[in-house]
Copies of this chain bind each other. A is one copy, B any other.
């Protein structure tokens, strides 16, 4: 299998660097091909702007969606974007690894999403009409592939628990797991989160590697988060609202889980 790790930490000699090296080694030993996009090492350009589109009239205002669509269709994107799209096409599994900065991913990784997820690739896929609102949320370019977040944070697990002040970790990561990964079709595995990174003694570190190793060994057997498919009958179209009666006993973002 082919695993793409998109990695966003500025310092190789860090906990994140060690976890990345461990993951690459573990997957290769298991016989998998591993591609690594080390965004800091690549000096990835985070800013989506007019320079991303090689066939544009510079006198025309930039319409982000239209420019993305045209460049994707005519193969006039910049080579850095096209190369990452190729890696995604080849991947069976995508891993996004990053430290939690301000309750989400660092800017450099957000800029990878903003630029690589072109119209016609990451979105704008399938029929868009009043009876079909695109191939998305369970369908799309990445259908059949799997994805997982590997996240580190200085905060305690309790701070991110059901009643923790930061907000429950699954709710904080919902915009990424559901909005960035499930949207274009990935089956999304439960996130691997390392807490309290400021107190990483030998025992905590060994335990972290043990648990990460187990998750990597089980990438193909782990049950994905059971998000509901947009076009599976659970949502009204085009309002995209969950049909009355479904998840009636639940509230919050958990209503979008099928069980």
A residues adjacent to B (C-beta < 8 A): 10-14, 40, 46-50, 61-65, 99, 101-108, 110-111, 113-114, 117, 137, 154, 156, 158-159, 161, 163-168, 171-172, 174-176, 178-180, 228, 230, 235, 238-242, 250-256
For A17, give the chain B residue with the smallest CB separation. Answer: B61
Q: Is the CB of A64 within 8 A of B11?
A: yes
Which residues of the other chain, B, contact A235 by a CB distance below 8 angstroms? 165
Interface CB pairs A-B, < 8 A, 8: A11-B62, A14-B63, A103-B179, A104-B110, A105-B110, A106-B114, A107-B114, A251-B252
Q: Is the CB of A114 within 8 A of B102?
A: yes
Q: Is the CB of A163 within 8 A of B107?
A: no
Q: List the 8 closest A-B pairs by CB distance, nearest first.
A: A252-B252, A107-B111, A103-B179, A103-B175, A13-B61, A158-B239, A107-B110, A46-B107
Q: Is the CB of A165 within 8 A of B240?
A: yes
Q: Is the CB of B178 within 8 A of A242?
A: no
Q: Is the CB of B106 within 8 A of A110?
A: yes
Which residues of the other chain, B, contact A137 by a CB distance below 8 angstroms? 165
Q: Is the CB of A107 within 8 A of B179?
A: no
Q: Is the CB of A111 within 8 A of B179?
A: no
Q: Is the CB of A107 within 8 A of B47?
A: yes
Minimal beta-carbon separation of A257 from chain B (angstroms): 12
A10 to B179, CA, bound (A): 22
For A10, give the chain B residue with the smallest CB separation. Answer: B49
Q: Taking A103-B180, A175-B103, A256-B167 as contacts, is the C-beta distance between A239 and B48 under 8 angstroms?
A: no
Which one of B104, B107, B180, B242 contacts A108 once the chains associate, using CB atoms below 8 Å?
A: B107
A166 to B62, CA, bound (A): 26
Minimal beta-carbon separation of A103 from chain B (angstroms): 4
Minimal beta-carbon separation of A111 from chain B (angstroms): 3
Q: Is the CB of B251 within 8 A of A102?
A: no
Which residues of the other chain, B, contact A240 by a CB distance below 8 angstroms? 156, 158-159, 164-166
Minimal beta-carbon separation of A79 from chain B (angstroms): 19
A240 to B168, CA, bound (A): 12
